[in-house]
Amino acid sequence: MPSFMTGKRSRLITIAAAGTVTVATAVSATAAALPSGSAAVSPVMAESQVLVNQHQVAARAAQGATMGEELRMIVITRARYALAERQRVREAALARAAAARKAAAAKTAARHPAAAKAAARQQAVQQQAASAPSGSPQQIAEQLLGQFGWSSGQFSCLQPLWAHESGWNPYAQNPSSGAYGIPQALPGSRMANAGADWQSNPATQIRWGLSYIQGSYGSPCGAWAHEQAAGWY
């Protein structure tokens, strides 16, 4: 037989012997684990016992993973609850602070009615400024018609009225009478009750002019009819 075959056979014998020793060791370990007086354990029974032990270890590992996931969900739930509770406490504190400010303002108003009225006027001015119309004088007038209870159709009379009086120029001034602004108020300072900026702000002038028309003629079309008949309004 060739020498290389002899070497290959020797290696196979060595591997088989090692396997036998491994199986024998496993069987011996299993037999040693049995109580005294137990019957002899076959290699098949020893291998079955090893598989059972492995299954038990795997089951315990899976149980541990499940318990770990449950613990993680508990931690997350508690964190969410704590966050919601902090938010509730914060909102409650803000509500109490707002109520305290309102109560303090009411006490101040009761003790100082003049200051309360001044604050109310200031708030009204701020609200009016926030909702102030914008655009050209004609556009501003169209936007303000509804505040006086008039339909947009009234602008067909207002437009020629103030075009004839001032050309819709907020700085227009009659050299002979001194009438001033878009509505030609006489004197111009009469428009001061509509706003301190009456000399330059078209919206202030228009608001005063519409109030004057409402009190004197009922509507822009009524004022325009008088203008056509008398030459003034």
| 43-78: pLDDT as tens digits | 545 555 555 565 565 666 566 666 678 888 888 888
pLDDT given at position 125: 56
Low-confidence ranges of the chain (pLDDT < 70): 1-67, 116, 121-132
CA atoms of 158 and 222, how far apart (whole Å): 10
Closest CA to 194 of 182, 208, 183: 208
pLDDT given at position 16: 40
Q: What tokens appear for 48 in the block? A: 């079955």
Contact between residue 212 and residue 181 where contact means Cβ atoms under 8 Å apart? no
DSSP 8-state assignment for residue 35: P
Q: What tokens appear for 53 in the block? A: 């032990």
Contact between residue 217 and residue 210 where contact means Cβ atoms under 8 Å apart? no
pLDDT given at position 18: 44
Cis peptide before 175 (omega within 30 of 0): no
Contact between residue 152 and residue 145 where contact means Cβ atoms under 8 Å apart? yes
Helix, strand or coil for residue 136? coil
pLDDT given at position 61: 59
| Domain 135-230 coded CATH 1.10.530.10 | yes
Closest CA to 141 of 183, 193, 184: 183
- Please state whether the predicted TM-score (pTM) of the whole model is above 0.85: no
C-alpha distances in Å from residue 33, one per residue of 19, 20, 212: 21, 20, 113
C-alpha distances in Å from residue 195, one per residue of 141, 181, 202, 227: 16, 13, 11, 26
pLDDT, mean over the chain? 78
